[in-house]
Structure 1
Amino acid sequence: MKTRFLSLDILRGITLAGMILVNNNGNGDFTYGPLLHAKWNGFTPTDLVFPSFLFMVGVAMRFSLKAFNYELTPSVRNKILKRTIYLFLINYFVFYFPFTDFSFEKLRFLNVLPRIALSYCAVSFLTLQVPSKWLTWINAGILLSFWGILYVFGDAGSWMDISSNAVRKLDLFLFGESHLYHGNVINGIRIAFDPEGFLSTLPAISTCLFGYQVSLYLENQAKENKSASLGLLGWGAALVLVAVIWDHAFPINKKLWTSSFVLLCAGIDFILIGFLNWWIETKERHFGNTFFLVFGTNSILAYGISEVIAIQLGKFQIQDMSASDWLYWHIFEPIFGKYNGSLAYAITFVLVCWGVCWVFWRKKIFLKV
């Protein structure tokens, strides 16, 4: 029986490349719409990137836990908790290195890696203690409960607004305004709201759990020597349809990680895995796979490298502007124009990160947290 699917590593690599691309677009004022997040309700291709990465974390968990026979022993429990803590520490290292201007009073507690850490931890304990037959019901319960929580605890009539939703309220209560993300601008005023908030980690756990369930399905189909592609495509289409219908009552919203958003992203990921499974595992087409394997087999390292480079370029000053702005305005914009220059900057950034990761890949050095 096949225990490793090349298509999963490829999709993880595609996701990582997309994440680096949309996070480093040169100039946000001159970026093509599909490479920007939806401002609030709605959906763009960029909104799919982080959920897909989290989805792939869930997929990988099934295979990584096999070494422990899917039993929650004290040793396995400690490994799960250590990995959760390490992801938090890596996050703080990446974003505050070299700590010259570090301030605990302004420390943002939650972010991309902490969300991955909390989701990984929750899904690990859940799947190791609950029979697989109950996972779908638990997933549905999570999504319905989150809908109810937002509706009940948000302000009446504005429970989906950025300033009065339950996610923001809980974060303000738990952490305080200074520890939240301040990149959202409403009517010219920056508002404290964290798109990786504590409460919205609940549906993020659902995203991760969907990935775990896909790996279960792939495993079961492989045991019976059946192709998984058609089933994945069918389930993916069904999830997308439900998401579109639910959007009318519970809008698709990445920053709140709404339940309809979870279903939409999971459905698309089902379809992508179904296609890649057919193309790579069934048809055995491997052209160009190495590029994405460099990212896909070392995803945490790739993400960390991209963030360290981006943050340091933002801090380093050249002619009274950040190095990233200088590169855009003095190299990419003069050659390619404003919008194409922004795209060229993003592509170049991906290739630089890929080059660094390629060195590790050739030397078979992989960051295992």
Structure 2
Amino acid sequence: MNDPLNKNQESQRLISLDALRGFDMFWIIGGEHIIHALAELTGWSVLIWISAQMHHTVWNGCTFYDMIFPLFLFISGVSMPFSFGKKLIAANVKSTFELPGDVKRKVYVDMLRRTMILVFLGLIVNGLFKFNGYENTRFASVLGRIGIAWFFAGLIYLNCNLKKQVIWFCFILIGYWLAMILIPVPGFGAGDLTMEGSLESYIDRVLLPGRLHSKVHDPEGVLSTIPAVATGLLGIFTGTFIKEKRYNPLKSVYFLLLASVLLILLGLTWDCVFPINKRLWSSSFVLFAGGYSIAFFALFYLIIDVLGWKKWTFPFLLIGMNSIVIYMAVEGVLNFGYTADFIFGGLINLAAAPFHVLLKAISVIIIELIFLYFLYRNKLFLKV
């Protein structure tokens, strides 16, 4: 396989995108535990506040941890205009919706294959091979939602010009909102946005086989996957804007930051009638989390691709280039904690007791990075 950091390829990809993906995944694979340990060890108010941000909101509202998933989906959308670049050049067209039918059919097959692989990997993470019985298997998953939302966002991107893509984006968000507040749920009526009474939860109970994540509701359920398509579209808009290079890089960053502020304000405004809610993937959540996603991307793009400060990104690049592998590994396929304790446990026990939790958290990250570095050195990258 090709090395994503090969200098000959550097100009063809956004290093900031891999770094941002790695930064996003860092918190899932153990970064959160370092923050929790530091907060407990120091008692500093700022670290206590950051530690509180490393938990999911119970229902309405949004923390930093709630934005990790939409940021990852947003990043997959940003990469799409770049990944289709070679196909546009080969077909001698300027836009994806102008691609010949035979080329599009091949693209559809590749996209469907990627989606099915992600759905299958999501089932593995959920314990498919534990064989606990159909009724105990959870079929909805994070990887499954990424695959499905990316697929439908890709279909819109391939078949619509920018104006129609924006229309689809607005239609999805407004349509989802109207459905959630106008369609009645048996026993609860219309407009109930609680975990038990929402339309999204009801459809999960009716349509999703097996076990739901929260018994009456699944945060990666059927209906809430539709607005997740809009999150992917936001990434596509951003990737298209950067790829077209209509403005110089610094001015592009200004426009991205302006767009992020507007989306956050729109999300907060919509929150008054349709609460920001990650579990429902509410329309206001799409805008609010999307605004922050654009801001994170603009910051990474400015520092790495515009200013050229890249050396510090290497640990994040290791994570970002094999993000699915490390996600599956930490979700149960591999036990990094056991390995870290086997190698560093004796040294950690020599330290003062209050530092044990922090040092254990750091040791797990070190083992994970060594594992990822081994994959990188041997050019082993899981490209789905």
1:104 alignment counterpart: 134
1 CA distance for matches of 2:31 and 2:66? 10
Matches within 5 A, 1:169-318: 169-176=202-209, 178-182=210-214, 191-221=215-245, 225-227=248-250, 228-309=252-333
1:82 to 109, 113, 124: 113
Shift in Å, 1:275: 1.5
Task: Work out whether 1:336 is the aligned partner of 2:336.
Answer: no
Shift in Å, 1:121: 1.1
1:36 alignment counterpart: 55
Q: Do the aligned partners of 2:125 and 2:333 also contact (CA within 8 Å) in 1?
A: no
Task: Work out whether 1:362 is the aligned partner of 2:362.
Answer: no
Shift in Å, 1:158: 5.8
Give me the TM-score of the superposition, normalised by structure 1.
0.83
2 CA distance for matches of 1:142 and 1:120? 14
1 CA distance for matches of 2:260 and 2:229? 18
Shift in Å, 1:279: 1.2
Match for 2:156: what amino acid? L
Task: Work out whether 1:54 is the aligned partner of 2:87.
Answer: no
2 CA distance for matches of 1:22 and 1:280? 21
Match for 1:299: what amino acid? S
Shift in Å, 1:344: 5.6
2:162 alignment counterpart: 132
Segments of structure 2 that go 5 or more residues without pairing to the other structure are 1-9, 41-47, 89-95
Instruction: Select between 16-25 and 243-252 the one with higher mean Cα deviation.
Output: 16-25
Match for 1:79: what amino acid? D
2:193 alignment counterpart: 160
Match for 1:267: what amino acid? G
2 CA distance for matches of 1:25 and 1:103? 36
Q: Secondary structure at the match of 1:73?
A: helix
2 CA distance for matches of 1:26 and 1:234? 30
2 CA distance for matches of 1:36 and 1:344? 21
Shift in Å, 1:281: 1.7
Identity %: 29
Q: Secondary structure at the match of 1:229?
A: helix
Q: Secondary structure at the match of 1:151?
A: helix
Q: Do the aligned partners of 1:40 and 1:253 also contact (CA within 8 Å) in 2?
A: yes
2:6 alignment counterpart: none
2 CA distance for matches of 1:345 and 1:250? 41
1:176-234 Cα distance to aligned partner (Å, 9 max, x none): 5x42113xxxxxxxx4310001100011111111011100000112x654432111111
| Aligned residues: CA RMSD | 3.0
2 CA distance for matches of 1:278 and 1:24? 29
Match for 1:217: what amino acid? F
Give me the TM-score of the superposition, normalised by structure 2.
0.80
1:123-143 Cα distance to aligned partner (Å, 9 max, x none): 111111111222122111111
1 CA distance for matches of 2:126 and 2:360? 21
Match for 2:212: what amino acid? L
2:7 alignment counterpart: none
Q: Secondary structure at the match of 1:350?
A: helix
Instruction: Select between 353-362 and 257-266 the one with higher mean Cα deviation.
Output: 353-362
Q: Do the aligned partners of 1:26 and 1:346 also contact (CA within 8 Å) in 2?
A: no
Q: Do the aligned partners of 2:336 and 2:368 also contact (CA within 8 Å) in 1?
A: no
Task: Work out whether 1:12 is the aligned partner of 2:21.
Answer: yes
Shift in Å, 1:101: 4.1
Q: Secondary structure at the match of 2:311?
A: coil
Shift in Å, 1:335: 2.9
Q: Do the aligned partners of 2:22 and 2:318 also contact (CA within 8 Å) in 1?
A: yes
Segments of structure 1 that go 5 or more residues without pairing to the other structure are 183-190, 317-322
Alignment CA distance shift 1:331-1:137 (3 Å): farther
Instruction: Select between 153-162 and 3-12 the one with higher mean Cα deviation.
Output: 153-162
Q: Secondary structure at the match of 2:308?
A: coil
1 CA distance for matches of 2:114 and 2:331? 20
Q: Do the aligned partners of 2:53 and 2:64 also contact (CA within 8 Å) in 1?
A: yes
2:366 alignment counterpart: 351
Shift in Å, 1:96: 2.0
Q: Do the aligned partners of 1:26 and 1:345 also contact (CA within 8 Å) in 2?
A: no
Q: Do the aligned partners of 1:294 and 1:354 also contact (CA within 8 Å) in 2?
A: yes
